[in-house]
Structure 1
Amino acid sequence: MRKQREIVAELTDRQLVLNVYLSQFIMLLLAIILSFFVFDHWIDFLELFQGNLLTVVFLSGAIATVIVMVDLLMERVFPKEWLDDGGINERVFRGLTIPKLFLLCAVVAIAEELLFRAVIQSTFGLIIASSVFALIHIRYLDKPVLFINVCLASFLLGGLFYWTGSITVTIFTHFLIDVILGLIIRNRYLKQVKRSVVK
């Protein structure tokens, strides 16, 4: 993990964002390839995208709000160093325009949910899919509070997919979580920059 931090530290913010896109492209490609083996017919895969629009919006909004509120509560309860991811999330989001932030969050939500929920969970079940999802966030392994938080979010998304049978709900929930937290990180950074300019 130290080696990963050293590599990340050497990257510019732009290179870091490009690496996020590259990793998501690999996940999406993997999801597409594996779906040929998991689903007998494309119709089985397409059925996962069911869902009434109002249900998707309200259910996703409610779950995303709960997860974001827990994140914000954790910031008030735990010491800052317990929640420090090495500044990676800040570096990813701080320089993005709002449309670029929305695009990045959409790509992440689609790629990760298709791979971990639609493909892995459909094949191996909730526990394996959610555990693997949590483990890909390797930079959190030496931060128990962050890792437990990612695990809980992962199992919640997995449970949501199990309960609704709709990948649309989990994609939109994941998207909302990332967008809201990304906007919070971006706004905090911009306020910090303004304060330092005023001084």
Structure 2
Amino acid sequence: MILLILGLIVFLGIHSLPAFAGPHDSMKAKLGENGFKMLFSVISAVGIVLIVYGYGQARFAGYMPIYTPPIWMSHLVLLLMVPVFVLLAAAYLPGHIKKRTKHPMILSVKIWAFAHLLANGEPQSLLLFLGFLAWGVFDRISLKRRDVAAGGPVAVDMSHAVRNDAIALIIGLGIYVLFVWKLHEIIIGVPVIS
């Protein structure tokens, strides 16, 4: 469980850095834009590896569940997960979805974490998903403050909004179907539908 905790600290810590303008801007000034992005990417990758490895170790350590969700909860989770990949795709495709949700990637992380909290009661799952949910809430509040300080959110280019929304829907729903069908089992080791 130590590696999972360390991974969460590393990954969520570096992703929280932009909320602190002083240290963030100082690092960017010292390293330059590309150097900062490179360091950010390396630290993020290390964090992800630690999270995945630590979570995998904890899953097989035999921790007793803190709670056992009812079977029907898995159906609710399937429903809650439908918009997650659409929002993730919309973060990179300016359109109505991005404009209305403002920060679709953070919203997708919060929905993903909340949905998985409903379906998993083991200590390592609670740590992982509560960590990401708390980060999502913190980062959304931070972004709102940064948007206000900057004079409002960055304008979204709406010239291809309908096309981009359609692409986000197709990509997002396609990835959702693949995850339900097999990808979740291949990547995570747990089938969605058994």
TM-score using structure 1 length: 0.30
Looking at both structures, which has the greater relative contact order when contacts are Cα pairs under 8 Å and sequence separation is at least 6? 1
TM-score using structure 2 length: 0.30
CA radius of gyration, larger in:
2
